[in-house]
Chains A and B, each alone.
Chain A
Amino acid sequence: METPHKQTQPDAAGKRPKHWLYRSENLPKLWMLQILVLALALVPEFFVHHHPHFEHEAFTLDASFGFYAWYGFLACAGMVALAKILGIFLKREESYYDD
């Protein structure tokens, strides 16, 4: 996971110290960590040859550089967008079915 969690560290100032995950100054670090992990996941693309699944159909996109990365990202972005649009029509108040 992109968000590692660690035990609460004592904080001298507050009574209930904010966990370091929730401190705003750590947010950029978490983003950097995530981007580092993503970059690491792309490194093997330079060495590993992906075997195309549909050679017979003359479809070799899945063996191209970074296919799984951009496909995974775009698929999710598309589904979030679709959910957002459908939500306009489908969402109702929680008490909608109550009598």
Chain B
Amino acid sequence: MTTDLAFPPGLILVLGAVLIPFAAERQRLLLLLGLPLLTLAAVWWLPNGSLLQLGFLDYTLEPVKSTAEGRLFATVFSIMALAGGLYAHRQASTLELTAAFIYAGSAIGVTFAGDLLTLFVFWELMAFGSTVVIWSAGSVGAQRAGLRYLLVHLLGGVILMVGIVAQVAATGSLAFTVMTPDSLATALILIGFLVNAGAPPLSAWIADAYPEATPSGTVFLSAFTTKTAVFALLVGFPGAEILVPIGLYMVFYGIIYALLENDMRRILAYSIVNQVGFMVAAIGIGTPMALNGAAAHAFAHIIYKALLLMSAGSVLMMTGKRKCTDLGGLFQSMPQTAINGIVGALAISAFPFTSGFVTKSLETQAAANEGMLLVWLLLLAASAGVFLHAGIKFPWFVFFQKDSGLRPPEPPANLRYAMWSFSFLCLALGVYPAPLYAILPYPVDYQPYTVDHLVSQFQILLFAGFAFFVMLKQMRRTLTISLDFDWFYRKFLKAIGNEFTGLTSAARDEKEEQALAGVWRLVDKLYQHHGPQGMLARSWPTGSMVIWVAALLGLSLLLYYI
């Protein structure tokens, strides 16, 4: 194939999305399903390598660079857009669908970026697409959360841009390749990537913004931003040791906050941070097995997290309720939604014969192979914790626990089809992981199904479940939210802003009064001199004029004489 035909596959969705508002309902479904399939075909049709070079100033842009990592992520992004489109097409607004497809397309654009400028352009396009997805929920809460979300991502984008400029100035090359965070430029690029991954301290935006979107909006949002960041870290910073502690922090942050949370979709949002933490830590370990693990885990995660949020979204759509304290007992009237939610919950918990089992174990095994005992023990504890905070907590509080008395019907057919298809993928990848292993960036020499592994995984999960039910009283949901780093920009900085406004307005009042007093003084003086009684306003008698003329003449005579 010649390079003339090379075209960024992400643009199929970005440009195709523009057609969505003009399509009638039936054509719209065709677009929603056809565009992702076309993208998928293009992703696999392009051969390896940099297929298009464009000159830009003194630099070379490579907008179509096909790599194993990029193809893997682009594949799962396309599948996600397909199922998301099916899930959303009847209920979501045209605005949301258009924005979601631009968002998905720009995520795919990032996965084919061979240079940092292309990456940055698609990166920012993603930020705007996703913000519009949040806003299209239409509520005041969504509007505000969307604005906070946008501000965080614009900040991350500025940091990334500064890093890119500094990197180009230092190296003279725009190429997006392996970097080490040992200079200011690369450190800024790393920080820019980490903001989108939900790394500390800015982790709160995920749980703040995602649950404010519509049921389908949250499904789209869960897939692209954080996993594009995982892709960027995987390509740009494999083996950067700082990522191991950052990842571990995210893993436990997600668990603790999800345990404290009452909103079902916010529980799942915190669990995104937890899951991405596994991937970030694995990228920090940096061996081929660990990187395979991060890539495979991202692939599986997108599918089961979307499935979980589809199930939660169906509950939200049919009941209008989002808090665990209002829900419960829904398995009686929504058995299909419950089963799909449980499949997603089992997959995220890495239950044997699900996609989580065959992917996450690559990461923990990689830690063991490197002799990282503490990391391995923490990841193992976190694996139990995943079952605790998402695997049981979500299905238990939504579909079981107390009987809330709610008897909502199952969601519409398109939502059910989308859920069943992702359930199928969760189980199919778990039972038969070979196709996924075959497209990983490095050759896979790993057998997940050993008796040892099965037994230990069953034990750790079942006893984690036991801990959940033993401590159920400790986990009773309360009508609360949890403080996070966003407190700083939602309360602290706001309070400082208010304080500043208060003080400055007092100072301004004082200055205003002073200025006003000055004006009045001037007016008074003028009145005194020029007013009706003023000296300067009096009429002068003729005699005094004659005296003054005589005085002046006498003076001039005197001067003349001298």
B-binding residues in A (CB < 8 A):
1-3, 5, 7-8, 18-19, 21-22, 34, 37-38, 41-42, 44-45, 48-51, 53-54, 56-57, 59, 66-84, 86-87, 89-94, 96-97
Complex contacts, A86 vs chain B, CB 8 Å: 256, 260
Q: Which of B160-168, B191-199, B214-222, B368-376 contacts A (4 or more CB under 8 A)?
A: B368-376
Q: Known contacts A5-B338, A50-B456, A76-B384: does B464 contact A92 (CB below 8 Å)?
A: no
- With a CB–CB cut-off of 8 A, which chain A residues contact B491? 97
Q: How far is the CB of B143 from chain A (nearest CB, A)?
A: 13
> What are the residues of chain A within 8 A of B478 when measuring CB–CB?
91
Contacting A at CB under 8 A, from B296-335, are 329, 331-332, 335
CB-based contact B380/A94 at 8 Å: no
Q: Which of A22, A67, A77, A83 contacts B329 (CB 8 A)?
A: A22
Give the interface SS of chain B, mostly helix, strand, loop or mixed.
Answer: helix
Q: Are B338 and A80 in contact (CB under 8 A)?
A: no
- B463 interface contact, C-beta 8 A: yes
List the A side residues contacting B335 at CB < 8 Å: 5, 7
Query: What residues on B are CB-neighbors of A51 within 8 Å?
Result: 452
Interface residues of B, count at CB 8 A: 59
Q: A21 touching B474 by the CB < 8 A rule? A: no
Given A1-B465, A68-B459, A72-B460: A54 and B376 interface contact (C-beta under 8 Å)? yes
Q: B260: which A residues are within 8 A, CB to CB?
A: 83, 86-87, 90-91
Enumerate chain A residues within 8 angstroms of B384, measured Cβ to Cβ. 71-72, 75-76
Contacts of B538 in A (CB 8 A): none
Q: Which residues of B contact A8 (CB under 8 A)?
A: 332
14 further A-B contacts with Cβ under 8 Å, apart from A34-B465, A50-B455, A54-B371, are A3-B400, A50-B452, A54-B368, A59-B373, A69-B459, A72-B461, A75-B384, A76-B467, A80-B471, A80-B474, A86-B256, A86-B260, A90-B483, A94-B480
CB distance from B339 to the nearest CB of A (A): 9
Q: Is the CB of B458 within 8 A of A41?
A: yes
Contact B388 A76 (CB under 8 A): yes
A-B contacts, 20 of them at CB < 8 A, read: A3-B400, A19-B329, A19-B403, A21-B400, A34-B465, A41-B462, A54-B373, A57-B373, A68-B460, A69-B460, A69-B462, A76-B388, A76-B464, A77-B470, A79-B255, A83-B255, A83-B256, A91-B481, A94-B481, A97-B481
Contact A53 B459 (CB under 8 A): no
- A79 and B338 within 8 A (CB): no
CB distance from A25 to the nearest CB of B (A): 16
Total residue contacts A-B, CB cutoff 8 A: 158
Q: Is the CB of B459 within 8 A of A41?
A: yes
Kindly provide the distance from the CB of A61 to the nearest chain B CB, expressed in whole angstroms.
9
| B2 in the interface (beta carbon within 8 A) | no
Least CB separation from A74: chain B residue: B467
Instruction: Report Cα–Cα, A93/B380, bound state, in Å.
Output: 33
Give the dominant DSSP class at A's interface: helix
Q: Which of A41, A51, A59 has the most CB of B within 10 A?
A: A41
Q: Does B54 contact A (CB under 8 A)?
A: no
Complex Cα distance, B457 from A91, in Å, reads 33
Q: State whether A68 touches B456 (Cβ < 8 A).
A: yes
Contacts of A2 in B (CB 8 A): 462, 465-466, 469
Tell me whether B481 and A92 are in contact (CB under 8 A).
Answer: yes
B398 interfacial by beta-carbon distance below 8 Å: no
Q: B159 interface residue, CB < 8 Å from A?
A: no
Pairwise interchain contact B342-A1, C-beta atoms closer than 8 A: yes
Tell me the nearest residue of chain B to A89, going by C-beta.
Answer: B483
Q: Give Cα distance in the complex from A78 to B252, angstroms.
A: 12
Q: Does B385 contact A (CB under 8 A)?
A: yes
Q: Mark B354-396, 1 if CB is under 8 A from A, else 0.
A: 0000000000000010010100100011001101110010011
Residues in A whose Cβ lies below 8 Å from that of B475: 80
Across the A-B interface, the 10 shortest Cβ-Cβ residue pairs: A76-B467, A72-B460, A75-B381, A53-B368, A83-B259, A68-B459, A72-B463, A73-B463, A91-B480, A72-B384
Quick one: which of B403, B464, B491 has the most chain A CB within 10 A?
Answer: B464
Q: Which of B385, B461, B466, B491 has the most CB of A within 10 A?
A: B466
Residues on B with C-beta less than 8 A from A74 are 467
Instruction: Judge if B533 is at the interface, Cβ distance under 8 Å.
Output: no
Q: How far is the CB of B411 from chain A (nearest CB, A)?
A: 19
- How many Å lie between the Cα of A92 and that of B486 in the bound state? 13
Complex Cα gap A76–B338 (Å): 24
CA distance A48 to B451 in the complex (A): 8
Instruction: Provide the bound-state CA to CA distance between A81 and B260, in Å.
Output: 11
Assess whether B59 is interfacial by the CB under 8 Å rule: no
Q: Nearest Cβ distance between residue A16 and chain B, in whole angstroms?
A: 9
Q: Are B471 and A69 in contact (CB under 8 A)?
A: no
Interfacial chain A residues near B479, Cβ < 8 Å: 93-94
Q: What chain A residues lie within 8 Å of B256 (beta carbons)?
A: 79, 82-83, 86
Which residues of chain B come closer than 8 Å to A93, judged between CB atoms? 479-481
